[in-house]
Amino acid sequence: MSARLEVVQGDITRERVDAIVNAANERLARGGGVCGAIHAAGGPEIARECATIGHCPTGSAVATTAGDLPARFVIHAVGPVWRGGRSGEADLLAACYRRALEVADEVGARSVAIPAISTGIFGYPLEEATAIAVGTVRRAETAVTVVRFVCFDDATAAAYRRALDRPATGGRGGPDPGPASPG
């Protein structure tokens, strides 16, 4: 089954969903951006669990408590740093969305809120990133019923709406699922 997709503008830390996704880094360290906001609002329990887990490779995701947040879980998903587009960024970003939904399934989350991973401090171009996010989530086989793309600013919300307006198959929408081809 595939999830219903929504776009909203606002602060992801306020979302009343089963799980919110964090745009994390490989060390699972408290950073800036949405990650800083999640740690600030959720309290120290999140950082404690992150420290116990210790590491998450780019393109993957891990779950922790959501601490004081209304959500039950934070899924820390590590998107790629943008290095110009020829370093496997598209495959890694798609993998990170796929893995975030797999982790949601593992913890039994049915509603999930996701920020625009990699498009802030990590510098991923917005139009490409939102196309990959929507294309990957649309194709995911998951028990999650609602995926809400939570956008901090107008430009991000507009990019998601354009991505959602494009047809579900063919054309843009990110790389095909499955193993990445070498080179």
Residue (130 or 142) nearer to ligand AR6, CB: 130
Provide the 3-class DSSP secondary structure of residue 20.
strand
Contacts to ligand AR6 from residues 101-140, by CB under 6 A: 115-122
Is residue 23 a contact partner of residue 79, using CB atoms and an 8 Å limit? yes
CA–CA distances in Å: residue 160 to residues 13, 34, 166, 176: 19, 17, 10, 19
Stretch that binds ligand AR6, among 20-28, 131-139, 157-165, 166-174 (CB under 6 A): 20-28
According to the binding rule CB under 6 A, does residue 152 interact with ligand AR6?
Answer: yes
Residue (3 or 23) nearer to ligand AR6, CB: 23
| Residue 1 C-beta: closest distance to ligand AR6, Å | 26
Mark 64-103 with x for binding to ligand AR6 (rule: CB under 6 A) and - for no binding. ---------------x------------------------
- Cα 125 from Cα 127, distance rounded (Å): 6
Contacts to ligand AR6 from residues 25-54, by CB under 6 A: 25, 31-35, 37
Provide the 3-class DSSP secondary structure of residue 170.
coil
- Cα 136 from Cα 159, distance rounded (Å): 15
Residue (2 or 14) nearer to ligand AR6, CB: 14
According to the binding rule CB under 6 A, does residue 12 interact with ligand AR6?
Answer: yes
At a CB cut-off of 8 Å and minimum separation 6, what does 18 contact?
A: 71, 72, 73, 104, 107, 108, 109, 110, 111, 112
Instruction: Determine phi and psi for 80, rounding to 5 degrees.
Output: -80, 150
Q: Which residues bind ligand AR6 (CB under 6 A)?
A: 11-13, 23-25, 31-35, 37, 79, 115-122, 150, 152-153, 156
